[in-house]
Amino acid sequence: MKRILLTGNGAAAWGARLACADYVPAFPITPQTEIIETLADWIDNGEMPGRLVTLDSEHSMITAAGAAAATGVRVFSATSSQGLLYGMEMLYTVAGWRAPFVLVNVSRGLASPITLEPDHNDILAARDCGFLQIHCATCQEVLDSVLIAYRLSEASSVRLPVIVNLDGFYLSFTREPVQIPDLKAAAAFVGAFDAEDIRFRASAPTSQAMAVLGGSPYSYFRYETHLAALQALDAYETIASEFEEKFGRNHPAVETYRCDDAEMLFFMIGCFATKAKVAVDRLREAGWKIGLVRPRLIRPYPAEAIRTILRGKHGVAVIDQNLSMGFGGVLHSELASALYGQPDMPHILASFIGGLGGRDISTEEFFEIATTLKRAIVSGETPAPRLLYTEDELKQIEKLQLIAHVERTGGERE
Amino acid sequence: MSDQRFRHLKDIPSTHIFGSGTPACAGCGGLEVIHQLYEVLGEKTVFINAAGCMTLLSIYPFTPFRGSWLYTAMASAPAGAQGVRDALDILLEQGRIEPSENLTTVVLTGDGSAYGMGLSATSGAIERGLDFIYLCYDNEGYGNTGQQYSEATPHGAKTSTSTGPRGYPGYKKSIFDIWIAGHPAYAATVIGAEPLDLARKIDKAMQFKGPKMITALSPCPTGWGFDPKESVEIGELAVKTGVWPLKEYVDGKVIHTKVPRKRLPVEEYLKRQGRFAHLFNPSRHESTLNEIQQRIDRYWEQVE
Amino acid sequence: MYRIRFHGRGGQGVKTASRILGTALFDAGFEVQDAPRYGAERRGAPIFAYVRADKKTICERGIILRPDLVAVADDSLVAMPAAGVLQGIDDHTVLLISSATGAETWRERLNLNCTIIVIPAGESDADRSAQPYLGTICAAAAAMMTGLIPQEGLIAAIKEELAGMATETIEKNIHNAIKSYESMAEHKGIISEGEELSFSSYAPPSWVDMPFEAARISSPTIHAGATSVLVKTGLWRTMRPIIDPEQCKRCWWICSSFCPDGIINVSEEGEPQIDYDHCKGCLVCLSQCPSHAITAIAESVAGSVTKSKPNESKP
């Protein structure tokens, strides 16, 4: 095992290499491209067996990925943002095939306006498609999660494709120390791909992914897919424990940081969660009983694990790097539905929207979120959802609008 | 290249391996082509299906395929074929399956996908030299949704989305020409009404490695407006009037496999179909009829 | 935690600088995080990269707002607001500038109380954006100033990060690096870790309730043409083309037609004039001029030779 500095993209590529992926259908998109470039380089220069094919679009790429998995090889692919959405039809389609593979998504905000920088609307748009989702906060986790994802995806009780998600820029282009497991140990952990009975062979004709007539068989197949996703909760625990045994790194379905005696919690996913840890440490130094909860699994949703952690806490600040137009933060609404009607749940579930399109969330802002939460706990009143956006930022936008010849009636806001 | 296997009509199989019991319309010209093709290709095949009429060939738990089949989506059947082909090649290379387990990869698509939504994926597959057969059953419209016009609809045809007195204003484009611009291993036009020509072409296609295209005009009783029993007759007329040239592309050259020397007037083909009825009743639409005839004549002048 | 930011122009090896220092610190036993900031990585355009190093796991992420060291490979960026060189500098920060101008002059010019150290860069007529070793020089100086990296560690890091380049290039970089490293010996260990932000004294963010504005205001629409002329891309330029009116043959304005940015205006008399507010210094005009009437000089020494023409085409 060696420990080197690696970008999140590099870590994703190493994950695919160590998992001995046979086949990589690819399509370039920022900030993911480095992953497929790295794999192409290894494959072209004989450092990694396997085959990489660039398709004509992400729609085609995900089709090819699913089709190859349905034929019985181990498949890896990667995309981001618009690409994930361009392939959205096929995400739903191939998940229904019950053919396992791993797709890395490097999160990036969605158009319009176009941006290259990250938030989580892309990946959360895919939350209902049948792919499982593992969300990473460090480059190490990216590599480890790809290995874990193959086990989870290929588990007999699951058989669903898995997306491993990492944030663009803050992970994709950021180097951090990453332990690279030995190929042998990784291969032993992941194991050989067993296509079971879902594959194409001349001696055993199969027709896959056909139509059904009527809602009854449709309901059966769809709900079975849902049950398989739920099976992944237990399967994940088993696989993560085995991973920890073999490699010494613990990646629970829900990460907790200084939660045991905490009265209030930050709740978020992705790599900005490590920034929340810094704020937790500073707040703890000031005597605050605060911690961080970070689900790594978003599909399946680890509801019971979250309830166990939140039981008896006074308040939770949910920080969403996404926005469901006309409603608000996706994590906030999902958490609320998981807690509603359950005994001893926090009374305050405050919603904060921040980090959209790569906007930073500063330590001061974490402090202010905590302060707002504490005030709400004391008063018993849930605060209105808060966008992390400052007066200065608004003034900057007005300057840009001036250049864009945006006319305001009498210079006043309506 | 030999045509030995199919010299006479009697060489065409008399027993059929493509399963009956599909929900395709009675008299479907597309289904006729599929079963004729399947009997030449055999069961060691995997069909990758694009959205269209033939999506419904396999409805759980019924499939007419004795070999394998995979449904993808409207836009990306060739990409599905890429994934399957590459996976089989990887399994063969690594010795994880016996060569006897190998399958021929076939894309099955209608004209809606072939001429439009699926072009990007098709173009990519040709460019990558994917070893597959691409079968387009061309019924000249989005048949599965009720015959709206597609990019393959002929000029003047009435469809669900061209109901005016002049029918469809556009002109059918040539998917054959689009394909051969990419220099595939083989390309051919066929029709169910000419089974020997069809069998020979499928047999020939099987001898090439790389992208191979077979496009079949597929008379559609439901969408075109004729009695199902006339399906083959309509197909024959398409050939005899010169509407549907039978040709193939081999070694960079286009060869017509059947040249109708004494072409019937196109009217003979048009007036048999409800979709062109407005060109004759209540009065003849001479300018449109002339234009259609002239376009056919011009095509064959260039051939001859 | 050490927080170090490198600034330069695309082509000067700023990303490599952050990786060299990152690798050297990692090899010296530190936890490290390094990253370039992409977006304007075009040759000549201002870019930056950053390095964090700590004995503990690093949880902080993103752009460094309170730097301990700011290293600048190209001194023309210091005063350019868009480059953000001076962002977050306080009294504890060390500002390292590769420059022909002395530290005292910089101190007066910038009115800063922080330590300013200059890596002497001779007045050169070479193209500064074609000097990828500038980044290495800054990385080497920074390495000495941390006091944490032995010379052999620096060399090993350079070899690792430049692996795949020509041996000659690597040798030249190492040569320059050692020179720069040694020249900073008197400043060994001058960088101090900034204080961690404490909850008791933080300045609350001035959050604002986003006001509703109708689509005609709030859609991402520009209601005018050619507003891009407000962007002074002339600031990217490291080499300045100069037209010699004596040599110019008043041809069919070849230079103007081929200029990718379309910034050579031809007067009614057929005389071409370069809009230096927007000229990026690609020197296509110089290569195309049939009468060789165009020459180029380094921007760093050009100030006294030509004056920037005011932008004539306002949106």
- What string of DSSP letters covers B190-253? EETT-HHHHHHHHHHHTTS-SEEEEEEE---IIIII--GGGHHHHHHHHHHTTSS-EEEEETTE
Q: Does residue C128 surpass a pLDDT of 90? A: no
Q: For chain C, give the percent of residues with pLDDT over 90.
A: 83
Q: What is the pTM of this model?
A: 0.95
Q: Does A277 touch chain C (CB under 8 A)?
A: yes
Question: Smallest Cα–Cα separation from B156: which of B66, B246, B284?
Answer: B284
pLDDT the model gives residue C305: 46
The encoded tokens of residue B244 equal 């549907």
Picking from A22, A23, A60, A222 by the largest number of B CB atoms within 10 A of its own CB, the best residue to mutate is A60
pLDDT at C79: 83
Q: C-alpha angle with apex C142: C140 to C145, nearest 5 degrees? A: 115
B46 in reach of chain A (CB within 8 A): yes
The span from the CA of A167 to the CA of B32, in Å, is: 52
User: Which of A51, A55, A209 lies nearest to residue B79, judging by beta carbons?
Assistant: A55
Alpha helices, DSSP H only, in chain C?
Answer: 14-27, 103-110, 133-146, 151-161, 167-183, 215-218, 254-258, 284-288
Average pLDDT over every residue of C111-120: 95
CA-wise closest residue to B245 among B147, B138, B169: B138
Contact: A68, B124; criterion CB under 8 Å: no
Q: Which of C38, C39, C223 sits opposite A404 (nearest CB)?
A: C223
| Residue C178: partners with Cβ closer than 8 Å, 6 or more residues away | C140, C151, C154, C155
Task: Mark the ranges of chain B whose per-residue pLDDT is less than 70.
Answer: 1-3
A68 touches chain B (CB under 8 A): yes
Asked if the bond preceding A118 is cis, omega within 30° of 0, the reply is: no
Query: What is the per-residue pLDDT for B281?
Result: 94
Chain A residue with minimum CA distance to C157? A5
pLDDT digits (tens, 9 = 90+) for A237-253: 999 999 999 999 999 99
Domain A2-247 -> CATH class: alpha beta
Confidence of residue C86 (pLDDT cuts 50, 70, 90): very high
Query: A90 to chain B: which residues are within 8 Å by CB?
Result: 72-73, 76
- In the predicted structure, residue C242 carries a pLDDT above the cut 90: yes
**Both structure tokens of C216:** 């005609």
Q: What is the pLDDT of residues C152-176, one digit of tens each?
A: 999 999 999 999 999 999 999 999 9
Its CATH class, for the domain covering B9-301, is alpha beta
Query: Which of B63, B72, B93 is the best mutation test for A, with the most CBs of A within 10 A?
Result: B72
Cβ A72–B87 below 8 Å, yes or no?
A: yes
- φ, ψ for residue A183, nearest 5 deg: -55, -45
Flag whether pLDDT at C123 surpasses 80.
no
Q: Which helix (H) or strand (E) holds C53?
A: strand C46-54
Give B-chain residues touching A203 at CB under 8 angstroms. 100-101
Is C40's pLDDT higher than 90? Answer: no
Average pLDDT, integer, range C286-296: 97
Choose among A176, A364, A394: nearest Cβ to C33: A176
> Is pLDDT at C252 greater than 90 in this prediction?
no
pLDDT, one tens digit per residue, over A47-59 is 999 999 999 999 9
Contact status of A166 with chain B (Cβ, < 8 Å) = no
Give the gap in angstroms from C-alpha B206 to the nearest C-alpha of chain A. Answer: 17
C-alpha to C-alpha distances, A192 to A74, A319, B96, nearest whole angstrom: 9, 39, 11
Judge whether A90 is closer than 8 Å to chain B, CB to CB. Answer: yes
What is the predicted pLDDT for the residue at C199?
A: 96
pLDDT at C302: 80
Name the residue among A113, A271, A386 with its Cβ closest to that of C207: A386
To test the contact with chain B by mutation, choose from A101, A201, A216, A224 the residue with the greatest count of B C-beta atoms within 10 A, namely A201
- State the smallest CA–CA distance between residue B286 and chain A in angstroms: 45
pLDDT confidence of residue C308: 43
A175: contact with B, CB 8 A cutoff:
no
Q: Residues 166-185, chain A: which have Cβ within 8 Å of C? A: 169-170, 173-177
Phi, psi dihedral angles at A143 (to 5 degrees):
-60, -50
The answer to whether C19 contacts A175, with C-beta atoms less than 8 Å apart, is yes
Q: How far is A2 from chain B (nearest CA, A)?
A: 29
Name chain A's partners: 3 or more CB pairs within 8 A: B, C
- Asked if residues C238 and C281 have their Cβ atoms less than 8 Å apart, the reply is yes
**How would residue C313 be classed by pLDDT, with cut points 50, 70 and 90?**
very low
In this predicted structure, what is the pLDDT of residue B1?
47
**Do A5 and C23 count as a contact with CB atoms less than 8 A apart?**
yes
| Beta-carbon contacts below 8 Å between A and B | 154
Question: C60: nearest CA in chain A?
Answer: A275
CA distance B67 to chain A (A): 5
Contacts of B192 (CB under 8 A, 6+ apart): B29, B32, B33, B36, B198, B216, B218, B219, B231, B232, B235
Chain A residue numbers touching C220 (CB-CB < 8 A) = 112-113
Q: Which residue from B164, B192, B187, B162 is spatially nearest to B177, judged by alpha carbons?
A: B187
Please, do chains B and A touch (3+ CB pairs < 8 Å)?
A: yes
Residue A227: left (phi > 0), alpha (psi -120 to 50), or beta? alpha
Amino acid identity, residue B103? L
> Cβ atoms within 10 A of the Cβ of A363, count?
20
Is the link from the previous residue into B282 a cis peptide, with omega within 30 of 0?
Answer: yes
Cβ neighbours of A68 in B, within 8 Å: 83-84, 86-87, 90
Q: Which residues pair with C265 in a beta bridge?
A: C273
d(CA B178, CA B174): 6
Q: What is the CATH number of domain A256-393?
A: 3.40.50.920
- Name the phi and psi angles at A272, rounded to 5: -65, -15
Residue in C38, C63, C204 closest to A364 by CB: C204
**What Rg, from alpha-carbon coordinates, does chain B have?**
19
Domain limits of chain A?
2-247, 256-393
Q: Is-contact C234 C278, C-beta < 8 A? A: yes
Contact A367 C210 (CB under 8 A): no
Cβ–Cβ of A64/B80 closer than 8 Å?
Answer: yes
3-state helix, strand, coil in chain A (%, to 5): 45, 20, 35
Which residues of chain A fall short of a pLDDT of 70?
A: 410-414
Q: What is the pLDDT, as a whole number, of residue C126?
A: 76
Q: Domains in chain C and their CATH numbers? A: 2-195 (3.40.920.10), 233-302 (3.30.70.20)
Q: Which of residues 110-139 of A touch C (CB under 8 A)?
A: 112-113, 116
**Structure confidence at residue A334 (pLDDT):** 98
Among the residues of chain B, which ranges form H helices? 29-41, 77-93, 111-112, 119-127, 175-180, 195-205, 231-240, 267-270, 286-303
CB of B105 less than 8 A from some CB of A = no
CA distance A202 to chain B (A): 4
Does residue B19 belong to the interface with chain A, where contact is any CB pair within 8 Å? no
Decide if pLDDT at C131 tops 90: no
> 3-class DSSP state for residue C103?
helix
Write the CB contacts of B99 (distance below 8 Å, at least 6 apart in sequence): B92
Listed by start position, the domains of chain B span 9-301
Which residue does chain C place closest to A274, by CA atoms?
C59
What subunits touch chain C, counting only 3 or more CB pairs under 8 A? A
pLDDT value at residue C42: 78
> Which residues of chain C does A106 touch, with a Cβ-Cβ cutoff of 8 Å?
none
**φ, ψ for residue B301 (rounded to 5)?**
-60, -40
Other chains touching B, judged by 3 or more CB pairs under 8 Å? A
**Residue B216 contacts A where some CB pair is shorter than 8 Å:** no
Predicted local confidence at residue C265, as pLDDT: 96
Shortest Cα distance from A221 to chain B (angstroms)?
Answer: 11
